[in-house]
Structure formats: structure tokens, C-alpha cells
Structure 1
Amino acid sequence: MDLHALREDMVAFSKEIGIDKIGVASPDVFTELKERLRAQQELGYQSGFEKGSLDERTTPNMHVPEAKSIISIAIAYPSKMKDAPRSKRGERRGLFCRASWGQDYHDVLNDKLNRLAEFLEEKYPGFRWRSMVDTGELSDRAVAERAGIGFTGKNTNLITKEFGSYVYLGEIITNIPFAPDDPVDDSCGDCNICVDACPTGALVQGNQLHAGKCIAFLTQTKGFLPDEYRDKIGNRIYGCDTCQTVCPKNKKKDFHLHPELEPDPELVKPELKPLLSISNREFKEKYGKMAGSWRGKKPIQRNAIIALAHYKDDTAVEELIRVMKEDPRPVIRGTAAWALGKIGVPSSYDVILHAKEKETDEEVLLEMDKGLAFFTNATV
């Protein structure tokens, strides 16, 4: 079989179905990545969302034993929103990061990878394959880097020449022996803007991320947010884009190539107060098609409460009192009590004090004490 011709046909078909970049990587073990991942584990820098063992995350033929190549794809997404609603008193808004704009990118990329695989299946007898997008064992970024799609910047994002780092990545491990592409050179140079701009210091140095400090990770956790990060997340209710928006490689990078990835301004920059009373069904119907909904409504609601405290939105006090008194989830009750203290409306002091008399959860009681402390500290 003429593999060169097959590859040309594959590239042409990829453009037809809306794949913006495509490259090929060898299926060799990602030896250097394995050592970096081992170091991340030893330092305690992992998020806990990682899938698979070190071997599974770095050995492609564990997933396709006949693997001869890995096809890497990239899809560009927008960096700017048209007609974004303004946040104003009484109608304060939160923000989903750009990776959650439009339809869930997992679904979008998996559809394109499946169509690409079907195309190859018709062309190559005995085709074997497995695709991955984000939640698979392999590192999409490491595969894309090896396939020449782009280079890994100091912000740990893959940066492409055409689209900056505003790309989604996925891959197909296959038994087709395509020749690999050449990697591109790292071109961050002496630039350290992203490391310096990270709100929590999660970029401990160029190319090394402490995931546990990263706002993108923290907004997805379900427990109480550690105190030291509450003032850092601002109005972010899912994800963080700071290390991308400050990157010089992303200057003037804004592509609107895929209608399914266009943001609905009211969804990606939603009013905060209505989120506190949204039902599970309403949340699923409204936000279920977004990538940022994957952890359910609880983290979003907790982050919305923290955002209201960030704004010191006194119009939210009545709703926060209701949440503190009535919500069955300790994390939400406790965060609401903390937020009431942070906002600082004087009448909230007695309300928290009375609610504390009926509260039995130790963690909620601790948050109530934190809320009360805002008032006592203010009078010292």
C-alpha cells in the first residue's frame, strides 16, 4: 500500500471534516514524560484526576498492541466573546473558562476522531485503533508535541504557530505505519510572563505545574476551597485562562471556525445568584452540554458563592442566608456563612450566630466562625 498517498488522503479528509491541524507521532514510549510524571508524583504536584499508571500513561502499545503510529489532531477554539453581558450591581456574573465555551469539546473531538477512523478503516485492511481526548491515559499534549502540532510552553499548554494555545487536542493510536512528523522547536525563550502572572503560583517554574494550586483544578474540586485561594479565584466559576491570556504567543489569536464551539454569552458568563437555587434537572438542561458541567452543580455553586463574596454583593445576602440555613450540603452551607461575613452586612452577624446554634457539622461551624471573625476583626 502507498502510505504516502493514504496520508495525503487522510490530511485532505481531515480538512473536510473540520480538523484544523493534523500530524503523526511515533508510538515509542514517552520516556522523558515518564520521568517528569514520576517527579510530579514524588513532589505531590498531581491533581488526582489523572488516569492510569505511569506505564499506561506513557506506553502507547499498552492500548493498541500493534501500534505503529499515533495520529494527533488539533481543533481551534475562540478566545473572544461577542456581546458579552456586563456584570453590574444586583446582577453580578461568573465566568466559565474558554475551554468550556460552546459544546463539550470531548464530544466534538471524539466525533471527528471517529469519522477519521471510519475513513481509514475503509482504506486500510486490518485497521486497528483507539482514540483518546483529554480523559484517556496518554498525554494529548505530549503526543501533539511529538507529532509537530506545536511546542509545550512554560504555561504547560501546547502552543501552535497558527492558533496559539487555543486548541483542543486528541489522538488515534493506530497500526498504520505512517512516518512520524518532526517536532517543532520551543520558542518561549526568556519570556516568563505566564509564570509571573499565575494568581496562585501554580506554575512553580517554566513547564512545571503544581496542579493542586492551579485555579483550573481548584474550581473543579467538591470540598471546601482552602482559605488561601478564595480571594484568588475572583469570579471564576470553572477553570482559569490567565496563563493563556497573558501569553504573547496568543496575541490577536481568536478563531471562530466551528459553530458548535461558539459561546452562548448567558451560559459562559452567567448571573451568580440564580445558580444558588438551580435544581439538578435545570442545571443539566442548561449547562449539561458544556465541558464545565462534568463535575455537576456543586462546585459551580460553591464557586458562585465565593464570587458573590468577591464582589461583596449585598444584594445576595438574603439568598445566602437561605442557603446557609436550608441547603443540605455542608460545603454549600459553610461557604455561604463565610461569604456572608466577607460581604459584611452588619445584620448578617446575628443571623450567622443564630444559625450556628442549630448547626451540627463541625466543618460548617468552622466556616461560621470564619464568617463571624470578619465582623469582629473589622471592629478591632
Structure 2
Amino acid sequence: MTGAELKEKIAAYSKEIGIDKIGFASTDPFLTLKDRLIEQQRLQYHSGFEEPDIEKRTEPERLLPEAKTIISIALAYPSKMENEPKSRKGDRRGMFCRASWGVDYHNVLKDRLQKLEDYIQEIAPEARNQSMVDTGELSDRAVAERAGIGWSGKNCAIITPEFGSYVYLGEMITTLSLEPDKEITDQCGTCNKCVDACPTGALVQGGQLDAGKCIAYLTLTKGSLPERFRKKIGNRLYGCDTCQTVCPENKGMDHHQHEEFEPDPEVVKPSLEPLLTISNREFKNTFGPIAGSWRGKKPIQRNAVLALGTYKAEEALDSLVHVLHRDPRPVIRGSAAWSLGQIGTKEAVEALYEAEQHESEEDVQEEIASAKAPHAVP
């Protein structure tokens, strides 16, 4: 079978198993990416979640000797949900970003890639393959861009003509020699809406992200959130969609091809107050299947505590006081102190003064002092 015939068969089979878009790229070193990664490290713009070995990220043959082709795949996910619950006084809601709706996309893409691998082994038994999704060494975006899946937008997402940037990406390195597809010309032009809309200024310029300022990254951290970012996070529990929702290329994009990605409204837009005291078992049962749970419940709880403060949710006062006095984790107690300071009622301030009397953790004491400073002594 010729390379052209193999490529045609692989592309046709990908559609049968629910892959929305497939592209083929060479395994040449990603030299432009390498320069960019070196610069990102120099500026300390990286998040720390990336593969630290830049050579592995940019030289595919280090991962699979004799590799000839990288197959890039994309699966579209929805941007709108039915029966979305409203956040209102008395029932304030948090939000998981769209990329965390439905079943964890890592598992779905791995399933599709495994099926594709199995098929390739059937039609080309001599092939050696290696697949990866998101947490692999290669840059999903760089591969997808080279494979013609889409162009790399100023919002640092791959933008496809068919689905906008609402796509999950994965790739397979193979020893099969298949003709590469052509890259798509950059379509962003002079548009700078994503850069201008970024709540924290994390998009330094089009295509350059300071990950340490990105809300999507900040929602994942487990420590105390810097005060300058707390209100900017708003009610986000995991991730951020701002740079996608403002993108003109995403206007009208809402694709529901995959049942696995359909959101449960009560899971992806949950009531905030119950999250403050949710047990490990309840958290795992409710949020375990979605991608937004991978860092555990602590960041989600911290973000929920801060969101209630941003909302000035007086109805959650008792729950926040309970957290301030009883939660064993200093980060959560300190966050509750900040939120009570934002609420600022007499009862909230009294709770801060009371907690001050028995709090032994220095960082929490500082949070309490800062929270009660703007308020008169009760």
C-alpha cells in the first residue's frame, strides 16, 4: 500500500470513530517553537506544568526513533449548555470553563487515538506509534498548526475554520511516511480583542502568554491567591474562557457531536456554598469524571470561598465563619477571612475579631488583620 493510500485510509477511519479533524505533519524539529520556549523560560512566563526538557518538546525523533510523521487530531466541544442555572442572590454559582465540560477530554482523546493506533497496526503492521494528549512532551498546538488543523491565534489557542478554538487536541507520532498537510494561514490579522479582554493582562501580546498571570493557571494553584487577582477571578472555579468568548472566529460556534462532552449544568455551574464543606468522597463522586478535578478539591474550594467574597454573599456568612474557625487548612481559612472582609457586615467583622484571638498561623493572622482593617471595631 502506498503512503497516499495509507493516509487516505487513516483519514477515512478517523471520521468513522468520531474524530472531527485530522492532519498530518512532518517530524522536523520545531525550531521556531524552541526559540519561543527558551524566551518563555528566560522571561519566566512558563507555568511549571510543562515538560521541562525543551529538546523533547521540539524534537519528535527523541521520543520515537525513526519517526517520520505526526498525526494530529481535533475533537470539537460545545460552547453552550441547555438549562443553565442562573447565579442569583441566595444561590451564587461558580463556573468550570468549557474545556472541563462533560467527561475528562484526556480519556476521550486517548480512546480515539488508541482506536486509530489499532487500525494503523492492522493496515501497516510494521508501523511503530506513540500517542499523547496534553500531558505529553510535544506541544499540541505546534503540531496542530503544522498539520493544518488550524492557526495559532493571538489567544494562544488553535483556531480551526470549522469549530473555532473550541477543540481538544491530541497527536500520534508514527514511523509511517505520510505526506504532510499544508499549514493554514494566520487569520487573526489586526484583531486584538483577546489581548485587550484578558482580565489580568496575561496575554502580554498576541501569541505570548505570561502563564503566571493567566486565570486558567491561577485557578489551579493550591496556595494563597495573590490579592490583586482575587476579584478578577470572579466566580471561576476552574479555567477561564474570556480569550475564547471574545474571539470573532468563535461567534456562533457551538458543536455537540460528542455525547461525552455534554455538560451536567449542576456540575459545571455548581452552587458555591455547599463546596465549602464538601467531603472528599462527595467531591470525587460529583467532580471526579471532569477534567477540572485533576488538582483535587482544595483549589476549587479556595476559589469558591473567594467567589462568595467577591459576590459579597451575606447568605453564606455562617458557612464562611465556620470555615474560618474550623477548616484545618491555612489557605482556606485565610481566603475565608478575605471574603468576610469583603462582605463587611457587623457579624462578618465580629467573626474576624473572634478568629484573631485563637488563630496561630502567621499567614492567616495577616489575612485577618488585612480583612478587618477597613472596618470599624465592632
What secondary structure does 1:374 align onto?
coil
Counterpart CA distance in 1 for 2:351 and 2:290 is 37
1:151 equivalent in structure 2: 151
Correspondence list, 1:161-180, <5 A = 161-180=161-180
CA distance in 1, matches of 2:231, 2:370: 14
Partner of 2:269: 269
Alignment of 1:112-151 (within 5 A): 112-151=112-151
The CA RMSD measured in Å over matched residues stands at 1.1
**1:7: which partner in 2?**
7
Tell me if the contact between 1:314 and 1:343 (Cα under 8 Å) persists in the aligned partners. Answer: yes
Write the deviation string for residues 343-376 of structure 1: whole angstroms up to 9, x where unpaired: 1111222221121111111111111112112324
SS of structure 1 residue aligned to 2:200:
coil
Tell me which residue corresponds to 2:81: 81
One-letter amino acid of the structure 2 residue matched with residue 208 of structure 1: Q
Deviations 1:136-185 (A, max 9, x none): 11100000000000000100100000000000000000100011111010
Q: Number of residues paired by the alignment?
A: 378
Any residues of structure 2 matched to 1:291-302 within 5 Å, and which?
291-302=291-302
How far residue 49 of structure 1 moved from its aligned partner, in angstroms, is 0.6
Give the aligned residue type for 1:270: P
Instruction: Detail structure 1 runs of 4+ shifted over 6 Å in the superposition.
Output: none
Deviations 1:29-73 (A, max 9, x none): 100000000000000101111123110111111110120000000
Letter in 2 for 1:356: E
Counterparts of 1:1-380 in structure 2, within 5 Å, are 1-376=1-376
Retained in 2: the 8 A contact 1:66–1:128? no
SS of corresponding position for 2:163: coil
CA–CA separation in structure 2 for the residues paired with 1:101 and 1:376: 44
Gaps of 5+ in 2: none
CA distance in 2: counterparts of 1:376 and 1:203, whole angstroms: 39
CA distance in 2 between counterparts of 1:151 and 1:219 reads: 27
Give aligned-pair identity as a percent: 61
Instruction: Return the alpha-carbon distance in structure 1 between the equivalents of residues 258 and 76 of structure 2.
Output: 8
1:87 aligns to what SS in structure 2?
Answer: coil
1:375, 1:250 → 2: CA distance? 45
SS at match of 1:232: helix
Q: Which amino acid aligns with 1:111?
A: D
Partners of 1:47 and 1:56 in 2: CA distance = 17
- Rounded to whole Å, the distance in 2 between the matches of 1:73 and 1:93 is 34
- Amino acid in structure 2 at the alignment position of 1:13: Y
Task: Out of 44-53 and 113-122, give the one that drifted further.
Answer: 44-53
Q: Secondary structure at the match of 1:375?
A: coil
Give deviations 1:305-328, integer Å, cap 9, x for gaps: 111011110000100000011101
Find the residue that maps to 1:61 and give its secondary structure: helix
Q: Which amino acid aligns with 1:329?
A: R
The answer (yes or no) to whether the contact 1:342–1:374 under 8 Å persists in 2 is no
Confirm or deny: 8 A CA contact 1:67 1:174 kept in the other structure.
yes
- CA distance in 2 between counterparts of 1:157 and 1:56 reads 21
Q: Is the 8 A contact 1:330 1:361 kept in 2?
A: yes
For the residue of structure 1 that corresponds to 2:168, the secondary structure is strand
Partners of 2:375 and 2:182 in 1: CA distance: 61
Aligned equivalents of 1:30, 1:140: Cα separation in 2: 12
Displacement of 1:5 in angstroms is 1.2
Please report how far the alpha carbon of residue 125 of structure 1 lies from its aligned counterpart in structure 2 after TM superposition: 2.3
Q: In 2, distance between residues paired with 1:288 and 1:123?
A: 37
**Corresponding residue SS for 2:255:** coil
What amino acid maps onto 1:274 in structure 2? P
One-letter amino acid of the counterpart of residue 75, structure 1: L
Map Cα deviations across residues 272-303 of structure 1 (whole Å, 9 max, x no partner).
Answer: 00001101111011100100000000000000
Letter in 1 for 2:34: K
CA distance, structure 1, for counterparts of residue 358 and residue 310 of structure 2? 27
- Work out the CA distance in 1 between the residues paired with 2:262 and 2:375: 44
User: How big is each residue's C-alpha offset from its partner over 1:79-134, in whole Å with a ceiling of 9 and x where there is no partner?
Assistant: 01111011111110000000000000000000000000000011112221111111
